[in-house]
Amino acid sequence: MATSQLIEALQELAHERKIDEFYLIERLEESLASSYQRILDLEWDARVTIDRQSGKIYVYELVPIGEPDEKTGEYSEFEERDVTPNDVSRIAAQNAKSVIAAIVRDAGRQSIYEEFSGRVGDLVTGTVLQGTPDFTIIKIRDGVEAELPHYDQKRNPNERNERPNNEHYRHNQRIKVLIIEVRDPSSDAPRVRGDQQRPPIVVSRTHPDLIRRLFEIEVPEIYDGLVEVKSIAREPGVRSKVAVASREMNLDPVGACVGPKGSRVRMVVEELRNERVDVIQWSDNPAVYVGNALSPAKVNSVTIDEENHYATVVVSDDQLSLAIGKEGQNARLAARLTGWHIDIKSASFVGGPVDEDESLIDIDEEESEFCAFVSEDGVKCRNHARPGSRYCGIHSDME
């Protein structure tokens, strides 16, 4: 390959892969220097320069001058001795193919890292390219692919499983995924198995923030900051609980997230492949918050032990199984959502009413479909009442 052809090939490759041309040449110079040092059996290090216009290659041996540093034993000054062989172009061509392939691969991964490292936590829509038993490759855009890992945790304990058990993907299927990691190709951190063959971007369908981002898309009030998602507890593919709070006095956060006839939350559920999503109202009162988190069960009372971070919940006998949930799922998600250890007891087990104090809340069992609040002008509130309450989230302090 003539030197001019080499530089033309490098320019074409840099343009095709969207890599800086001069960066590509510099990396090739560094790699060829190591090759020529070995091929020419040089005593000292080599330096290679490639003329940016003609593509002509020059090889220099860096011969040290003077005395080495007393502490480090290293030389600070060097004399460049021209050792360019007559067949420099042939030798370069022989080594350039593998060197360029590695440079292009590393440069491409570095370019992707610089573009996407600041987008961890973003929701993106991709197309399924192919699947393996261990991961699915998602195309984010032309030239950029991501990995959705679903390794068997027993066989590969150091790998991830970011796919819900109820999900399987087909070729060309479009799915929304959350970016959770972008691998840095220049990092000294331990590499994952098969790192060079795997995409640098790792995405997830199980991360709780996936639900947060989906609600931001479907609920304008969340996107605008009027409603805040306070906490999320999730068992991917099965059920999730989302606690929301309003920053506007007259805005019901639960109603905003559910939408007219449940239209907004339904879109989130469809994207999650029919994973059940419970939207509950957050409260700075732990007793109220715990009671809300156990929805749809109706809670009689909640007693808070702040010292031990323990919440004792009393429910009627017919609500006990609903409060606990299948295999303890409802109680487990409520505890994870609130951060409180929750102990659920039936009213018959308690054996009578619990004495009220500052940390106990009683829930009125009288329920109505709509909020019972009526303004001074005689206008009724149009919001739906919260489960187990006569009032909506806005007027819950009327209890």
Place of tokens 């309450």: 389
Number of C-beta neighbours around residue 64 at 10 A: 14
- pLDDT recorded at residue 215: 96
Most confident of 52-56, 187-191, 193-197, 225-229: 225-229
- Single out the residue of 124, 334, 129, 113 nearest to residue 213, CA to CA: 124
Spatial distance between the Cα atoms of 203 and 140, rounded to a whole number of angstroms: 10
CATH class of segment(s) 3-108: alpha beta
pLDDT higher than threshold 80 for residue 201:
yes
CA atoms within 13 A on the CB side of 294: 33
| Better-predicted residue by pLDDT, 139 or 23 | 139
Q: pLDDT tens digits for 102-139?
A: 777 777 788 888 889 999 999 999 999 998 889 999 99
- pLDDT recorded at residue 350: 64
- pLDDT recorded at residue 11: 79
Residue % of the chain over a pLDDT of 70: 83
- In the 8-state DSSP scheme, what is residue 319? G
Q: Across the chain, what does the average pLDDT equal?
A: 84
pLDDT higher than threshold 90 for residue 255:
yes
Q: Structurally, what CATH architecture does the domain formed by 120-187+195-204 represent? A: Beta Barrel (2.40)
Q: Which CATH superfamily is domain 210-282 in?
A: K homology (KH) domain (3.30.300.20)
- Average pLDDT of 176-199? 78
For strands 144-149 and 201-204, give the pairing: parallel
Q: Is 323 buried (19+), middle (13-18) or exposed (0-12) by CB count in 10 A?
A: buried
SS3 131: strand
- pLDDT recorded at residue 336: 95
- pTM across the whole model: 0.70
- Structure-block tokens of residue 300: 């009689």
Task: Please state at what angle helix 329-338 crosses helix 286-293, rounded to 10 degrees.
Answer: 150
Q: Is 158 buried (19+), middle (13-18) or exposed (0-12) by CB count in 10 A?
A: exposed
Place of tokens 């091929």: 39
Q: pLDDT tens digits for 320-370?
A: 999 999 989 999 999 999 999 999 998 887 655 544 444 445 544 433 456
- In the 8-state DSSP scheme, what is residue 77? E
The helix (H) or strand (E) run that includes residue 201 is strand 201-204
- pLDDT recorded at residue 312: 93
Considering only 99-113, 227-241, 368-382, which range has the smallest mean pLDDT? 368-382
Considering only 4-8, 211-215, 232-236, which range has the smallest mean pLDDT? 4-8
Domain boundary assignment for the chain: 3-108, 120-187+195-204, 210-282
